Amino acid sequence: MTRAVAVVIATKNRPDLLVRRAISSIARQTQQPARIVIVNDGHELPTETRAAIRRALPELAITISRNARRTGAGGAWNTALAHLKRSGFAGFVALLDDDDEWTPEHLSANLDAVKDGHKNVAISGLRLLKEGVEIPRPLITTLAASDFLVSNPGWQGSNTFVELTHFLAVGGFRESLRSAHDRDLAIRLLDHPATRIALVPRWTATWHLGTPGCLSQAGSEAKLQGLCEFWRLYHPRMKTKERVDFIERAVDLFGARRAMFSSSIRSAHEQG
């Protein structure tokens, strides 16, 4: 039996990309979702944007709401998960960032991967585009929580496909994080003894790196604060080389200062 899928989109002040990329790719799916939940974490969505969404997906149940929790992507996603739980939804949640897109077989490929009923997570290939040019990287063939301590091997928002009950079992998203939600969620899911992952050997999602307003933008307050919070949470389980590599990567890619990470630990100790 085909399992139900709910698509969840958190959006913030990018209505054109929301419609042109995310909504358009949902409309092209060979397996349509049971419902869509769009949570707005920014300015009110324009009336014309709401109308364009309805026109693109006229036969789907669509909920558009404001973020009812802590400001940020984590609060927006958790608002959607709470809505699905209240409405009695039973099935899988497929995340899609408002500036990303899926190939037409994304939902069907993930559903096929979990159809035996024993898997509660599916991860397909996430193609990486920077300024329209694909940056080659291998498909994920194995996963361990330690893979996410320093960087991310390719499991991010738009290729996350998790059964709602299991999403809720790990607590949803950590709202204290300003960024690095994907790595934190991956670690908590991989740590959970009931997690059963299907790796889908197909490139079905596309991440557009560097879109204005994205949480991974180098030097942004959200990115730097997220890295510091992630460090505070996970540096105790890092090996010495992983700690060094984490800091060097944060400095080289995101413009962080090395002192930020020692001060984040000091601040946490003072507050605790």
CA distance 262 to 102: 39
Beta strands in 110-256 (DSSP E): 121-130, 133-134, 160-163, 197-209
Q: What is the pLDDT of residue 212?
A: 65
Q: What is the pLDDT of residue 132?
A: 87
* Of 12, 64, 58, nearest in space to 36 by CA: 64
155 close to 162: Cβ distance less than 8 angstroms: no
Q: What is the pLDDT of residue 1?
A: 43
Q: What is the pLDDT of residue 189?
A: 98
Q: What DSSP state is assigned to residue 3? A: P
**Residue ranges in the chain modelled with pLDDT below 50:** 1, 215, 268-272
pLDDT digit string, tens, across residues 49-98: 999 999 999 999 999 999 999 999 999 999 999 999 999 999 999 999 99
Model-level pTM? 0.92
Q: What is the pLDDT of residue 269?
A: 45
Distances 237 to 137, 148, 175, 233, 263 between C-alpha atoms, Å: 27, 12, 21, 9, 18
Q: What is the pLDDT of residue 117?
A: 79
CATH numbers and ranges of domains, the chain: 5-209 (3.90.550.10), 221-271 (no CATH)
